Amino acid sequence: MRKQILALGGDGIGPEILGHGLRIAQFLADRSGIELDVLHGLLHGASWDAHGIFCTDEVLENARASDAILVGAVGGPKWDDIRVPGGAERQDGLMYLRHHLQTYLGLRPARAWKPLLNKTPFRAGTADSADVLILREMCGGAMFATMRGQREVNGLRQGYDLTAYDEAEVARFAHGGFQLARQRRKKLVSCDKSNVMESYKLWREVITEVSRAYPDVTFENMFADNCAYQLMMRPHDFDVVIGCNQLGDILSDMTAVYAGSLGMLPSACLSANPDKGPVFGMYESTSGSAPDIAGQGIANPVGTILSVGMMFTYSFGLPLFEAQIESAVEDVLQSGLVPPDLGGTATSEAMTDAILERLAE
Ligand code: NAD
Ligand code: MN
């Protein structure tokens, strides 16, 4: 089997954690006889500095020709305030790829790890086996507002982003959510603010309509503020939680608390529902580019390494590898090796070396 991936380091810790993810991907590919072609490219700040644009046509073309993209992370103070003529997708390299590749289904699994329970702020028993899949819509909503800008209204500066979702955008995403819930514990909560916002009223209506096709999945609508509270108070009651682009972004960082660090969280953005076989996807740690620790070799590589596992599952159709990676990570954590974000002293390299060693056993 031959697979091509596009590797985009991006900015900050991005190139570092990408490198660690690639080591794991190459090792697993070699072991299983997969010929892995890795193309490299620049994204966001790195691309801006080289080409004056956050994502080039060449990168998009290479993405289209690949089975998957593995991303480090993007962004940093140097580029955060740059504004480019054009829509939301023009302002950010990752959003450019999400928009053009329509990777609308954002999977952000958040779970507890036994060896890390004492690194979390939870009281014993509260989140010991937390295992929640946050699903974030990746291609629409407020973040991709077409009506956006700053203007003067009544002599005051006003900023605005029109939040809009059409029923097709919500329905394709909801189907993905119910299908994924079917492969898990068959519980799905959709969160919104339909009590106060019109776009969320349609969101709730469409999701509720879609839910009727999945009578085997226990379905509930929740207001997002309450949902955030309940996710912290009683994590064990949740399985799949779906939300719009903005709510999903916030809830997925929040549930990283189950693991003890944002650096532990993987993610996948898929361009189709994965129930019928491998699909194109972008894989990256849920976190950002962590400029505060970039260049020190101490970033937690686990989020990216777990993302590689998701890539084997969803884009290569080889789910066994994801389980192997998770179990290797668990063993390494159990041995006491942890990076600084979890209170330890292990470097990124030491973490990856140890995970590779466990995988080789
Ligand atoms: P961040 O996620 O980069 O960092 C938040 C905190 O978590 C920091 O203390 C950081 O050190 C820590 N952290 C994150 N990943 C870590 C890891 N792997 N190991 C150890 N510690 C880790 O968020 P931020 O500081 O608000 O944003 C920094 C930049 O990243 C901004 O430019 C932002 O726009 C961008 N960003 C990018 C993405 C992405 O690439 N998908 C996502 C979110 C933010
Ligand atoms: Mn985020």
pLDDT tens, position by position, 68-81:
999 999 999 999 99
- Pick the atom of ligand 1 nearest to 301's CA: 18
Which structural domain, as residue segments, surrounds residue 272?
1-109+261-361
What number is the average pLDDT over the span 281-305? 98
Cβ–Cβ under 8 Å, residues 171 and 105: no
Residue 169: per-residue pLDDT: 98
- Pick the atom of ligand 1 nearest to 72's CA: 40
Per-chain residues with Cβ under 5 A from ion ligand 2:
249
Of the pLDDT bands very low, low, confident and very high (cuts 50, 70, 90), residue 188 is: very high
Asked whether residue 92 is assigned to any structural domain, the reply reads yes
Q: Please give the distance, rounded to the nearest whole angstrom, from the Cα atom of residue 287 to the centre of ligand 1.
A: 5
Residue 259: per-residue pLDDT: 98
Q: Please give the distance, rounded to the nearest whole angstrom, from the Cα atom of residue 228 to the centre of ligand 1.
A: 20
- Listed in sequence order, the residues at least 6 apart from 256 whose beta carbon sits closer than 8 Å to its beta carbon are 110, 262, 264, 265, 286, 287
Say how far apart CA 168 and CA 209 lie, in whole Å. 12
Q: 245: which 2 tokens?
A: 């682009």
What number is the average pLDDT over the span 159-178? 98
Q: Please give the distance, rounded to the nearest whole angstrom, from the Cα atom of residue 294 to the centre of ligand 1.
A: 10
Residue minimizing CA distance to atom 38 of ligand 1: 288
Asked whether residue 42 is assigned to any structural domain, the reply reads yes
Residue minimizing CA distance to atom 27 of ligand 1: 288
Asked whether residue 119 is assigned to any structural domain, the reply reads no
Model confidence over 86-114: pLDDT tens digits?
999 999 999 999 999 999 999 999 999 99
Residue 42: per-residue pLDDT: 98
Q: Crossing angle for the helix pair 167-182 and 198-211, nearest 10 degrees? A: 40
Q: Considering all CA atoms of the chain, what is the largest pairwise distance in Å, rounded to the nearest integer? A: 69
Asked whether residue 55 is assigned to any structural domain, the reply reads yes
Residue 175: per-residue pLDDT: 98
Cβ–Cβ under 8 Å, residues 34 and 3: yes
- Pick the atom of ligand 1 nearest to 76's CA: 32
CATH number of the domain at 52, please. Answer: 3.40.718.10
Residue 7: per-residue pLDDT: 98
Asked whether residue 334 is assigned to any structural domain, the reply reads yes
46, 47, 67: which is closest to 55 by C-alpha?
Answer: 47
Q: How many domains does the chain have?
A: 1
Ligand nearest to the CA of 248: 2
Model confidence over 3-20: pLDDT tens digits?
999 999 999 999 999 999
Ligand nearest to the CA of 74: 1
Model confidence over 23-43: pLDDT tens digits?
999 999 999 999 999 999 999
Ligand nearest to the CA of 252: 2
Of the pLDDT bands very low, low, confident and very high (cuts 50, 70, 90), residue 148 is: very high
- Pick the atom of ligand 1 nearest to 77's CA: 32
Q: 99: which 2 tokens?
A: 């928009």
279, 190, 286, 200: which is closest to 239 by C-alpha?
Answer: 190
pTM: 0.98
Q: Alpha carbon of 148 to those of 25, 88, 127, 213: distances in Å? A: 40, 9, 40, 36
Ligand nearest to the CA of 134: 2
Ligand 1 pocket (Cβ < 6 Å) reads: 13, 17, 73-76, 80, 94, 262-263, 284-285, 287-293, 299-300, 303, 341
Residue minimizing CA distance to atom 42 of ligand 1: 288
Residue 260: per-residue pLDDT: 98
Asked whether residue 188 is assigned to any structural domain, the reply reads no
Residue minimizing CA distance to atom 9 of ligand 1: 290
Residue 156: per-residue pLDDT: 98
Mean pLDDT over the full length of the chain: 97
Q: Please give the distance, rounded to the nearest whole angstrom, from the Cα atom of residue 201 to the centre of ligand 1.
A: 32
Say how far apart CA 83 and CA 81 lie, in whole Å. 6
pLDDT > 70 fraction of the chain, expressed in percent and rounded:
100
Asked whether residue 209 is assigned to any structural domain, the reply reads no
Asked whether residue 358 is assigned to any structural domain, the reply reads yes
pLDDT > 90 fraction of the chain, expressed in percent and rounded:
100
Model confidence over 224-234: pLDDT tens digits?
999 999 999 99
Model confidence over 190-213: pLDDT tens digits?
999 999 999 999 999 999 999 999
Residue 178: per-residue pLDDT: 98
